[in-house]
Amino acid sequence: MSLEKNQKLKALNQEIEFKIEELFFSTTDSTGNILSGNDVFVKISQYSREELIGAPHNIIRHPDMPKLVFKVLWDSIQAGKPIGAYVKNLAKDGRYYWVLATVFPIPDGYLSIRLKPTTPIFNLMPDVYAALIEAEQKGGVEDSLKVLLGILQSKGFKSYDAFFLTALTEELKARDKIVQKSQERDLKIKTDFSGKKNEALFHIFTEVQRKCVDLKGLFNKLFSNVHLFLELRDNLGDSSALIIDLSQQIFHLAMNANVESFRAGNDGASLAVLAKEIQVRSDEMKHSADIILKQANILSEDSDRRILEIGVQMTVPKLQNEMIDSFICEMLLQKQSEPFSQKKVKQMQENGMVLINLLEVYSKKTIELLMPLRINIKELIVCVETIETIFRALEMTQISGAIESARIGEKGKTFLVVFNEMDRLNKGAQIHLEKFRELLKNILEHVDDIFSSENQIKEFLQAIKLPIEGMLQITPSYEKEQSLVSAENI
């Protein structure tokens, strides 16, 4: 066994440490060959940039990774859908490092953004992946998929997409808490570059970084309410089923009240009127319940897929903006002693533009996905408010019925049971409907906030894009300056 191979084997159980503030990315062509990456990726992988560019991305694949994970990733991105996974990677020297990788389709290839995982969800993954590898060895990827879905369902996740969205949101929340406690990086970056090499470029980076901070506020607000959409997914089916069930129960109460009014003869005449009124309200409620069911079906058609897609679309712009911010900060912390070559600046510009274009695409997609949802939510609110009005009318009917039942004495006892049951249903329904209405209104308010921020997001993105596009225009002056300095030294 060669010395190099022996050293790699010894290093297999050693982890490469990197800071939670550090984000890294790479781009590949459509077959998975690496096209570019930032300096953090180069540093952590332990490969040189020259070794990475053109190499298949599986150059960093660790033997502890199940094949299924990469199949899930590959199937999703080939379908044009962003997806992610916890991945254990293998550095050149044999050490390992864990990341949560989120992969995005881009023109003619893919882009992967990786962050350091720190949540309890991540702590489950080594054992989960060991179980998947064991299943693959016995029955292949098909058996591994069954094991994965079984594990996820036992943890309360209906699908892999649901698991990924939860993992991504929890990791971003955890990262925010830690990064917010340490703002030294931002302070260090506010350096006086005047008179130094690369001054013009560093001024561009500083301005872009400021805009990223402004965007961060907008995307944090977007991200902070993702949970509302997951609540909607969980509440929608239950609420529509409850309303339909209530309309049926009230219809049966109306029928019972009508039968009892006939038994009461002349004394039951006034109660017959009330029974008819209950039946009318029941029919009105049934009509509104049908509309709610229709809207619920529209929203619930591939409900998990659709609402989870919205959740992902609302989450990934935050991650993408964080990556741009991290990349720009990485550029600002470059050595300032020597001017950048045009090749280096071109590399920076290309990486910056790939990230900005990605953020632009996903910001636009978020708006597009929310437009039909906004219409659905508004119609649901109208229906819920209509049903609340019906229940308030039924409450008055119930009170009148209770009084009239007491007035006619013994013959009214059966009616009293009916009206007491109606009172119970009414109170429970109003509590549930109020909560559901508030959830819908919170979502609508949040969606309207996103729409009102659309132009602001576009302006910030343009303010980031223009200086990055113009980076190459200022590099010839550096090279000219450098050649003059060299000539003077001859």
pLDDT in tens, 262-279: 776 676 677 778 778 888
Taking only Cα atoms into account, the Rg of the chain, rounded to an integer number of angstroms, comes to 31
Q: Which of 362, 368, 372 is nearest to 80 (CA)?
A: 362
In degrees and rounded to multiples of 5, residue 13 shows phi and psi of -100, 15
Q: What is the mean pLDDT of residues 398-409?
A: 78
Q: Is the pLDDT of residue 481 over 60?
A: no
pLDDT number for residue 484: 41
Question: Residue 151: which pLDDT band, with cuts at 50, 70 and 90?
Answer: very high
Distances (CA, A) of 470 to 282, 323, 334, 473: 67, 20, 19, 6
pLDDT number for residue 252: 82
Q: Contact at 8 Å (CB) between 285 and 243?
A: yes
In degrees and rounded to multiples of 5, residue 185 shows phi and psi of -60, -45
Whole-structure pTM value: 0.80
pLDDT number for residue 478: 46
Q: Contact at 8 Å (CB) between 44 and 24?
A: yes
Q: Is the pLDDT of residue 356 over 50?
A: yes
pLDDT number for residue 213: 84
Going from the N-terminus, what domains does the chain have, and what CATH number goes with each?
Answer: 1-183 (3.30.450.20), 223-481 (no CATH)
Q: What is the mean pLDDT of residues 369-396?
A: 85
Residue 188's Cβ-count burial label (10 Å; 0-12, 13-18, 19+) is exposed
Find all residues with CB under 8 Å of 32, minimum gap 6, and list them.
56, 57, 58, 110
Question: Residue 150: which pLDDT band, with cuts at 50, 70 and 90?
Answer: very high
Q: What is the mean pLDDT of residues 361-387?
A: 86
Find all residues with CB under 8 Å of 257, minimum gap 6, and list them.
271, 274, 275, 278, 401, 415, 418, 419
Question: Residue 88: which pLDDT band, with cuts at 50, 70 and 90?
Answer: very high
SS3 call for 90: strand
Q: What is the mean pLDDT of residues 373-397?
A: 85
Tens digits of per-residue pLDDT, 94-117?
999 999 999 999 999 999 999 999
Q: Is the pLDDT of residue 485 over 80?
A: no
Residue 272's Cβ-count burial label (10 Å; 0-12, 13-18, 19+) is middle
The mean pLDDT of the chain is 83
Highest mean pLDDT: which of 256-260, 302-306, 365-369? 365-369
